[in-house]
């Protein structure tokens, strides 16, 4: 038994900052001090606090070291493990009080969080099934197989009030019940791990940090709906998640937790992986099924729903990773416990990927009903660089922007839809005063145009036309009629597109039109980008009081728009200027201003 464990984050973000080297150095130092019997180094999944990675956490005293470098390993071992003295300089510093926080429980980032789906991420070694089992892993499956009929188990999921975490929030228990009632010789359980929303990485973190929870939940689902086969559709861009899931499946088979007659019951279940190949639309369940069958991932009209006719024409239940991660806990702690968390219609917690212009970028899990203000200012630590908050984009390319006036709205599935956005998979991008909302709408439309599968006309052609209008506006060539046309097009696409991707694609445009109409007006009427982001609308001027006449700008201007005598203030000819900004970057005297 070890007296101490050093947990090192092995998520993608921290690995990018050499966390594997930290593990190696920690082990070498332990050995050098002869402490191998006393302390153990464990590579875990993501802690969520990616902003300050790589993270090393020491238990049992919960010491939380941030931004650790490989060369810090020796000091951690020599001071903390050997002498019991914490390495103060590596502790998290409370930005408000400048005090070092020794115990992670006292960090603002973690105080408001309730971790259900992420319960094991950052605690266990994901490549060792014994550690999952030691934290009650697979006991939910054992309980279900021994004591419950499939219908009783489905009823418990229904009572918990769990709704799908992949986007639309369909009740999970109901979905299982429909699939269970359709009889067939073969049924399938599918896990949607094709996390395509740019800026969301919770599914990847769960698969990397706690892959066994997904296997257990899929087996429970298989028992409930009567399926003996599970398939995980996972992005090929997630090599680490794939590797850890493969290891977990292998170990589960060895332990008899997958395969024939699981735990001595009559239930048999096995799993395999299917790889995505980079198509956002494959997050839509019918498209995902076509992709698993080896075809182009184009969606088809529903009904028939996958629960009736899915993979290879058989009844198929599709849930996403985070939804499955909640399942074992519902059985262990009971549906009443689960439904006591959250709001009236949205139970439990939601994992958000907090990113953008915020101090604490990372993965957070919070109870439904929390306000944006709590997320941004308490967990997120406020806006980066003390800038002014402007908007939060939720739901990725299918969602919309929330503003100042939504800061105190409790967040759940329904309140976000009412505010013109959606939960989506839980991406949450914070924007400050320097972000142009027209530019953001354009960014999402570029994404949609690239990712549209092309099957239905409204999405294929409509979004392209909308993008052209936005480009025109950002280039200062827009007029009032364009704004009207933009809205009309958006509404038509929303009504007529075939699948969820198309129907929600105009949301970023509609919500910015609603909440930031004045910014659109500034672009169209005044030909000004208030945030100074749209290059064609930027105007550069030389302040004659500051300009020294060094000629550096004139020599670098690619179109010779800058003229002036040596040692005399220069001027920019606005008619020739192409707004490239080179002069602004080159000037050593800050004599050039942007308007």
Partner 1 sequence: MNKLILNDCHKKTIKDICDSFGNKPGELINVLHKTQEHFGYLPEEVQNEVAVNLNMPLAKVYGVVSFYTFFTMTPKGKYPISICMGTACFVRGAEKIVEAVEKELNIKVGGVTEDGKFSVDCLRCIGACGLAPVMMIGGKVHGRLEPGMIKGILDSYE
Task: Give the one residue of 249, 453, 459, 591 binding partner 1; rule: CB under 8 A.
Answer: 453
- 199 binds partner 1 per the rule CB under 8 A: yes
CB of 595 to partner 1, least distance (A): 20
Work out whether 276 is an interface residue with partner 1 (CB under 8 A): yes
Site membership for partner 1, residue 353 (CB under 8 A): yes
CB 354 within 8 A of CB 380: yes
**CA separation for the pair 363, 353 (Å, rounded):** 5
Would you count residue 406 as binding partner 1 (CB under 8 A)? no
* Residue 356 makes contact with partner 1 by CB under 8 A: yes
- Kindly state the smallest distance separating residue 139's Cβ from partner 1, in Å: 30
Share in percent of the chain as helix, strand, coil (round to 5): 45, 15, 40
Residue 31 binds partner 1 (CB under 8 A): no
**Exactly one of 435, 473, 529, 592 binds partner 1 (CB under 8 A); which one?**
435
Measured from the CB atom, the residue of 333 and 579 that comes closer to partner 1 is: 579
Contact by Cβ (8 Å): 274, 294: no
Please provide the DSSP assignment of 264-329 as one string.
GSS--BEEEEEE--S-GGGGSHHHHHHHHTTS------SSSPTTTS-GGGS-EEEEEHHHHHHHHH
CB of 333 or CB of 384, closer to partner 1: 384
Decide if 456 contacts 465 (C-beta within 8 A).
no
Burial of 295 (0-12, 13-18, 19+ CB in 10 A): exposed
Figure out which of the listed residues 279, 289, 376, 498 binds partner 1, where binding follows CB under 8 A.
279
With 0-12 / 13-18 / 19 or more C-beta atoms within 10 angstroms meaning exposed / middle / buried, residue 183 is exposed
Site for partner 1 contains 237 (CB under 8 A): yes
Binding segment for partner 1 among 13-21, 326-334, 480-488, 542-550 (CB under 8 A)? 13-21
Least distance between partner 1 and beta carbon 577 (Å): 18
Cα distances (angstroms) measured from residue 470 to each of 137, 458, 474, 494: 51, 17, 6, 18
Task: Report the residue from 10, 196, 299, 426 that binds partner 1 according to the rule CB under 8 A.
Answer: 196
Q: Which is nearer to partner 1, 348 or 502 (CB)?
A: 502
| Cross-strand pairs, 428 | 354, 394
Smallest gap from residue 290 Cβ to partner 1 (A): 10
Q: How many residues interact with partner 1 (rule CB under 8 A)?
A: 51
Q: Is 16 in the site for partner 1 (CB under 8 A)?
A: yes
What HEC string does 64-119 produce?
EECCCCHHHHHHHHHHHHHHCCCCHHHEEECCCCCCEECEHHHCHHHHCCCCCCCC
User: 303 preceded by cis ω (within 30°)?
Assistant: yes
Cβ count within 10 A of residue 247: 16
| 337 lies in the binding site for partner 1 (CB under 8 A) | no
559 belongs to the binding site for partner 1 (CB under 8 A) = no
Q: Tell me the backbone φ, ψ of residue 151, rounded to 5 degrees.
A: -65, -40
Q: Which is nearer to partner 1, 387 or 527 (CB)?
A: 387
Task: Give the one residue of 22, 50, 221, 437 binding partner 1; rule: CB under 8 A.
Answer: 50
Q: Is the separation of the CB atoms in 351 and 118 below 8 Å?
A: yes
Segment contacting partner 1 by CB under 8 A, of 77-85, 104-112, 427-435, 478-486: 427-435
Q: In 3-state terms, what secondary structure has residue 530?
A: coil
Indicate the Cα dihedral angle 289, 292, 296, 300, nearest 10°. Answer: -10
Q: Is 389 in the site for partner 1 (CB under 8 A)?
A: no
- For residue 302, report the phi and psi dihedrals to the nearest 5 degrees: -110, 140
Nearer to partner 1, 236 or 578 (CB): 236
Q: Does residue 310 touch partner 1 according to CB under 8 A? A: no
Residues composing the chain: 595
Q: Which of 355, 422, 449, 501 binds partner 1 (CB under 8 A)?
A: 355
Alpha helices in 161-210 (DSSP H): 172-181, 202-209
Select from 179, 264, 276 the least CA-distant residue to 218. Answer: 179
- 584 is a site residue for partner 1 (CB under 8 A): no
Cβ atoms < 10 Å from Cβ of 532: 15
Any contact of residue 393 with partner 1 (CB under 8 A)? yes
Choose which of 104, 125, 205, 349 interacts with partner 1 (CB under 8 A).
Answer: 205
Least Å from the CB of residue 55 to partner 1: 10
Single residue of 29, 182, 213, 291 touching partner 1 by CB under 8 A: 291
The only residue of 337, 443, 541, 584 in contact with partner 1, by rule CB under 8 A: 443
Phi/psi region, residue 294 (left: phi>0; alpha: psi -120 to 50; beta: rest), is left
Report the residue number, 278 or 481, with the smaller CB distance to partner 1: 278
Based on the shown chain and the rule CB under 8 A, indicate whether residue 13 belongs to the binding site for partner 1: yes
Q: Does 367 bind partner 1 (CB under 8 A)?
A: no
321 sits near partner 1 (criterion: CB under 8 A): no
Q: Under the criterion CB under 8 A, does residue 277 sit at the interface with partner 1?
A: yes
- Restricted to residues 462-521, the positions that interact with partner 1 (CB under 8 A) are none
Q: How many beta carbons lie within 10 A of that of residue 336, not counting itself?
A: 11
**381 belongs to the binding site for partner 1 (CB under 8 A):** no
> Quick one: which of 19, 23, 41, 53 contacts partner 1 (CB under 8 A)?
53
What's the CA gap between 275 and 278, in Å, rounded? Answer: 9
> In a 3-state reduction of DSSP, which class is residue 52?
helix
Q: Can you tell me which of 34, 60, 84, 294 binds partner 1, judged by CB under 8 A?
A: 294
Which residues contribute to the site for partner 1 (CB under 8 A)?
12-13, 15-17, 50-53, 196-201, 204-205, 236-238, 274-280, 291, 293-297, 312, 353, 355-357, 361-362, 393, 396, 427, 429, 431, 435, 440, 443-444, 447, 453
């Amino acid at each position: 038994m070890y007296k101490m464990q050093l947990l090192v984050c092995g998520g993608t973000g921290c690995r990018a900052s050499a966390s594997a080297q930290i593990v190696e150095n920690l082990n070498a130092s332990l050995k050098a001090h002869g402490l191998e019997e006393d302390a153990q180094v464990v590579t875990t999944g993501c802690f969520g606090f990616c902003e300050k990675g790589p993270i090393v956490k020491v238990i049992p005293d919960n010491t939380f070291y941030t931004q650790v470098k490989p060369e810090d390993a020796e000091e951690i071992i020599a001071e903390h493990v050997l002498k019991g003295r914490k390495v103060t300089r590596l502790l998290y510093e409370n930005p408000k009080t400048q005090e070092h926080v020794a115990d992670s429980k006292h960090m603002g980032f973690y105080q408001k969080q309730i971790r259900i789906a992420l319960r094991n991420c950052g605690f266990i070694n994901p490549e060792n099934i014994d550690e999952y089992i030691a934290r009650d892993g697979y006991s939910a499956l054992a309980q279900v197989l021994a004591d419950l009929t499939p219908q009783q188990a489905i009823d418990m999921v229904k009572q918990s009030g769990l709704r799908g975490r992949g986007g639309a929030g369909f009740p999970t228990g109901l979905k299982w019940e429909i699939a269970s009632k359709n009889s067939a010789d073969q049924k399938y359980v599918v896990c949607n791990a094709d996390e395509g929303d740019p800026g969301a990485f919770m599914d990847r973190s769960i698969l990397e940090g706690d892959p066994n929870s997904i296997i257990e939940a899929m087996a429970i689902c298989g028992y409930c709906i009567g399926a003996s086969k599970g398939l995980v559709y996972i992005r090929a861009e997630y090599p680490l998640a794939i590797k850890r899931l493969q290891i977990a499946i292998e170990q589960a088979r060895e332990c008899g937790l997958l395969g024939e007659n699981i735990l001595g019951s009559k239930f048999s279940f096995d799993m395999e992986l299917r790889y995505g190949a980079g198509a956002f639309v494959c997050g839509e369940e019918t498209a995902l099924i076509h992709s698993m069958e080896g075809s182009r991932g184009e969606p088809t009209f529903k009904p028939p729903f996958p629960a009736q006719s899915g993979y290879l024409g058989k009844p198929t239940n599709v849930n996403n990773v985070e939804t499955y991660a909640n399942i074992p806990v519902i059985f262990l702690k009971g549906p009443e416990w689960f439904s006591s968390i959250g709001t009236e219609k949205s139970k439990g917690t939601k994992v958000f990927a907090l990113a953008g212009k915020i101090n604490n970028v990372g993965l957070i899990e919070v109870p439904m009903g929390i306000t944006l203000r709590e997320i941004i200012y308490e967990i997120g630590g406020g806006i980066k660089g003390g800038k002014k908050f402007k908007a939060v984009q939720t739901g990725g390319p299918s969602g919309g922007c929330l503003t100042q006036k939504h800061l105190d709205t409790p967040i759940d599935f329904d309140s976000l839809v009412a505010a013109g956005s959606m939960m989506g998979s839980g991406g949450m991008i914070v924007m400050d005063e320097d972000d142009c909302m027209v530019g953001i709408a354009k960014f999402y439309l570029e994404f949609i145009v690239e990712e549209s599968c092309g099957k239905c006309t409204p999405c294929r052609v409509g979004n392209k036309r909308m993008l052209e209008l936005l480009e025109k506006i950002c280039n200062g060539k827009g007029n009032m009629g364009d704004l009207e046309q933009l809205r009309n097009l958006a509404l038509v696409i929303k009504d007529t597109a075939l699948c969820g991707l198309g129907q929600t694609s105009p949301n970023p445009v509609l919500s910015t039109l609603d909440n930031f109409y004045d910014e659109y007006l500034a672009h169209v009427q005044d030909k000004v980008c208030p945030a100074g982001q749209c290059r064609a609308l930027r105007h550069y001027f030389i302040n004659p009081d500051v300009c020294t006449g060094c000629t550096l700008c004139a020599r670098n201007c690619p179109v010779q728009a800058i003229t002036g005598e040596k040692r005399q203030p220069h001027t920019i000819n606005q008619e020739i200027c192409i707004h490239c900004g080179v002069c602004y970057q080159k000037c050593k005297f800050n004599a050039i201003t942007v308007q």
